[in-house]
């Protein structure tokens, strides 16, 4: 299960079809980053670079030259080196870049200063994401300046610099059938890991122990990297939105919030569940939890083609305001509270984000200043929450320190949407049953096939709407002229 060579080729072709005539696109790979002295952070390829190549080495540069006679897809990469490969592992080398990754032409990256200016020369426009990497920006300007220095000898430097992101990120926003299958797999793995966390949670364990359970289960199934830093917050720590210390002891009577998901073949999953440390919700916890659950289901209800990006958020806000009014945590009229945004004391973030190769994936949320209309093939998270600060003196003491968030990954289909993360329970009754040991590991096995069947139908409906997706890729390009 991975992206085929043909699909990578289709992506490059689609991107080149959107580029203006006589242009060139340059995309560097991610860099290795030092952690401390001789140790490095685990290398993770740049999402855009991987999306177009599937090539996961550092020190590589992708160059696209539409209609170039000797090949449109050029790769610069590290040369093969038996000595270095003994220490650091396999390198494809330029020949491998052609044979295994379908490059038309490939060169050693050490020769890029000699070769790339010649490829740029004569191209009127350059697509390049200026400003992401100052070192690489400097190289690009050096190559262009080298051509400018030869203008009197007849050399033609590019006169226009364009942003590749608009095209590329709009393509990435619409997931192909193969991408949805990978995302369903990532979602399945993470769902099983959350089930494991619920099953193994008990008072006295530390937050990091649940983090370890999650990472272990994910890694065992190939989701070796978390898609983001895992959040495991017991009690009032759940009210810290990006809590990552994860070093406190879990107490009976508290809730614990886990926001964690693995990356599988560079596709992210993102799940949040909140459950009682001892396996039983208190009355207050359940009251808050049920509002969040109702808001989440109301939001998912709004996810369908034709509705705009903000519709699910609006639905969640209304549900949460109504629920908090009922419990006396907010006072006044629903519409007034929404207008004045006083609910933000409890629900201060938005409903979710695009999900894909990046956990906060690329793609515009607004087009021409209007909320984007949802279309099949988009994937988003749905994650409302209520957080009652432990020092909030405006509410009764019994509510303080309760933090609840419920998050699922949802793919938009032709008829509505499909939840990819259903393998982990989310009603209080189902969670309590699982934690009491009444529904054992079978839950994951059963839900796995369910989620995969769902992914299948999502894939099917996505295929039908390909033309709609294609039409959408015509977006405005912003141009930055360099002088
Ligand atoms: Mn999220």
Q: How far is the CA of 271 from the centre of ligand 1 (A)?
A: 7
Q: What is the pLDDT of residue 59?
A: 97
Q: How far is the CA of 349 from the centre of ligand 1 (A)?
A: 11
Q: What contacts 427, CB < 8 A, 6 or more positions away? A: 293
**Together in a domain, 179 and 56:** no
**Together in a domain, 390 and 292:** yes
Query: pLDDT per residue over 384-403, tens digit each?
Result: 999 999 999 999 999 999 99
Query: pLDDT per residue over 232-270, tens digit each?
Result: 999 999 999 999 999 999 999 999 999 999 999 999 999
Q: How far is the CA of 440 from the centre of ligand 1 (A)?
A: 27
Q: How far is the CA of 150 from the centre of ligand 1 (A)?
A: 51
Q: How far is the CA of 260 from the centre of ligand 1 (A)?
A: 9
CATH number of the domain at 32, please: 3.40.350.10
Q: How far is the CA of 441 from the centre of ligand 1 (A)?
A: 25
| Axis-axis angle for helices 428-435, 177-200 (nearest 10) | 60
Would 483 be classed as within a structural domain? no
**Together in a domain, 150 and 186:** no
Q: Is the pLDDT of residue 451 over 60?
A: no
**Together in a domain, 302 and 384:** yes
Q: What is the pLDDT of residue 445?
A: 43
Pairing mode of beta strands 61-64, 39-40? unpaired
Alpha carbon distances (Å) from 141 to 11, 116, 145, 341, 404: 27, 12, 6, 47, 50
Would 155 be classed as within a structural domain? yes
For range 14-40, the mean pLDDT: 96
What range does the domain containing 44 cover? 5-162
Q: How far is the CA of 241 from the centre of ligand 1 (A)?
A: 11
**Together in a domain, 205 and 308:** yes
Would 408 be classed as within a structural domain? yes
Would 183 be classed as within a structural domain? yes
Active site residues: 38, 242, 259, 270, 349, 353, 360, 383, 387, 405, 407
Alpha carbon distances (Å) from 211 to 76, 229, 233, 253, 258: 39, 10, 10, 20, 8
Q: How far is the CA of 270 from the centre of ligand 1 (A)?
A: 5
Q: Of the residues 162, 196, 218, which one is the last residue of a structural domain?
A: 162
For range 73-84, the mean pLDDT: 97
Q: How far is the CA of 362 from the centre of ligand 1 (A)?
A: 14
Would 233 be classed as within a structural domain? yes
**Together in a domain, 325 and 179:** yes
Q: What is the pLDDT of residue 444?
A: 44
Q: Report how far residue 471's alpha carbon sits from residue 474's, in angstroms, rounded to the nearest whole number.
A: 6
Q: What is the pLDDT of residue 438?
A: 81
Give the pTM: 0.91
For range 79-98, the mean pLDDT: 96
**Together in a domain, 361 and 409:** yes
Q: Report how far residue 431's alpha carbon sits from residue 443's, in angstroms, rounded to the nearest whole number.
A: 11
Closest CA to 402 of 421, 391, 387, 383: 387
CATH number of the domain at 217, please: 3.90.230.10
**Together in a domain, 137 and 245:** no
**Together in a domain, 153 and 231:** no
Q: Is the pLDDT of residue 476 over 60?
A: no
Q: Of the residues 115, 141, 162, which one is the last residue of a structural domain?
A: 162
Q: How far is the CA of 232 from the centre of ligand 1 (A)?
A: 14
For range 412-425, the mean pLDDT: 97
Q: Of the residues 116, 136, 162, which one is the last residue of a structural domain?
A: 162
Q: What is the pLDDT of residue 432?
A: 98
CB 419 within 8 A of CB 409: yes
Would 478 be classed as within a structural domain? no
Query: pLDDT per residue over 39-64, tens digit each?
Result: 999 999 999 999 999 999 999 999 99
**Together in a domain, 393 and 258:** yes
Alpha carbon distances (Å) from 453 to 329, 416, 442: 41, 16, 17
Q: How far is the CA of 344 from the centre of ligand 1 (A)?
A: 18
Q: What is the pLDDT of residue 461?
A: 54
The total number of structural domains in the chain stands at: 2
Would 393 be classed as within a structural domain? yes
Q: Report how far residue 116's alpha carbon sits from residue 408's, in angstroms, rounded to the nearest whole number.
A: 45
Query: pLDDT per residue over 262-272, tens digit each?
Result: 999 999 999 99
**Together in a domain, 206 and 333:** yes
Q: Which of 1-5, 102-106, 290-294, 449-453 has the lowest mean pLDDT?
A: 449-453
Question: What number of other Cβ atoms are within 10 A of residue 392's Cβ?
Answer: 17
**Together in a domain, 21 and 132:** yes
Would 84 be classed as within a structural domain? yes
């Amino acid at each position: 299960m991975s992206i085929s060579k043909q699909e990578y080729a289709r992506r490059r072709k689609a991107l080149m079809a959107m580029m203006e005539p006589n242009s060139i696109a340059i995309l560097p790979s991610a860099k290795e980053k030092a952690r401390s002295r001789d140790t490095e952070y685990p290398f993770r390829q740049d999402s855009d670079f991987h999306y177009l190549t599937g090539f996961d080495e550092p020190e590589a540069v992708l160059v696209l030259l539409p209609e170039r006679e000797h090949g449109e897809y050029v790769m610069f990469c590290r040369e093969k080196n038996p000595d270095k490969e003994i220490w650091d592992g396999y390198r494809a080398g330029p020949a491998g870049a052609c044979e295994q990754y379908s490059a038309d032409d490939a060169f050693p990256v050490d020769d890029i200063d000699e070769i790339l200016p010649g490829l740029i020369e004569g191209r009127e426009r350059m697509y390049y994401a200026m400003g992401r990497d100052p070192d690489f920006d400097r190289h690009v300007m050096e190559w262009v300046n080298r051509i400018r220095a030869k203008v009197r000898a007849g050399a033609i430097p590019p006169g226009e610099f364009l942003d590749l992101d608009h095209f590329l990120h709009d393509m990435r926003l619409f997931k192909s059938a193969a991408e949805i299958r990978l995302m369903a797999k990532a979602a399945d793995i993470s769902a099983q890991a959350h089930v494991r966390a619920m099953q193994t949670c008990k008072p006295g364990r530390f937050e990091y122990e649940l983090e370890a359970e999650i990472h272990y289960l994910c890694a065992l199934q190939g989701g070796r990297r978390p898609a983001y830093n895992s959040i495991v917050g017991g009690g009032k720590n759940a009210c810290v939105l990006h809590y990552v210390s994860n070093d406190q002891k879990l107490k009976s009577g508290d809730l614990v919030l886990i926001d964690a998901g693995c990356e599988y073949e560079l596709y992210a999953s993102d799940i949040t569940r909140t459950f009682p440390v001892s396996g039983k919700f208190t009355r207050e916890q359940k009251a808050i939890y049920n509002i969040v659950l109702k808001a989440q289901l109301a939001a998912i209800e709004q996810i369908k083609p034709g509705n705009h990006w903000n519709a699910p958020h609006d639905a969640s806000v209304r549900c949460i305001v109504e629920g908090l009014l009922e419990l006396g945590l907010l006072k006044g009229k629903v519409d007034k509270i929404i207008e004045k945004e006083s609910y933000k004391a409890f629900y201060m973030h938005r409903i979710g984000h695009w999900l894909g190769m990046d956990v906060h994936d690329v793609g515009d949320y607004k087009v021409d200043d209007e909320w984007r209309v949802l279309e099949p093939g988009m994937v988003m998270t749905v994650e409302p929450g209520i957080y009652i600060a432990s020092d909030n003196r405006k509410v009764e003491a019994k509510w303080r320190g309760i933090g609840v968030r419920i998050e699922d990954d949802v793919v938009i289909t032709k008829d509505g949407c499909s939840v990819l993360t259903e393998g982990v329970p989310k009603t209080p009754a189902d969670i309590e049953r699982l934690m009491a040991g009444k529904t054992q590991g079978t839950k994951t096995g059963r839900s796995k096939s369910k989620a995969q069947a769902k992914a299948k139908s999502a894939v099917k409906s996505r295929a039908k709407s390909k033309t709609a997706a294609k039409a959408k890729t015509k977006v405005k390009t912003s141009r930055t002229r360099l002088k």
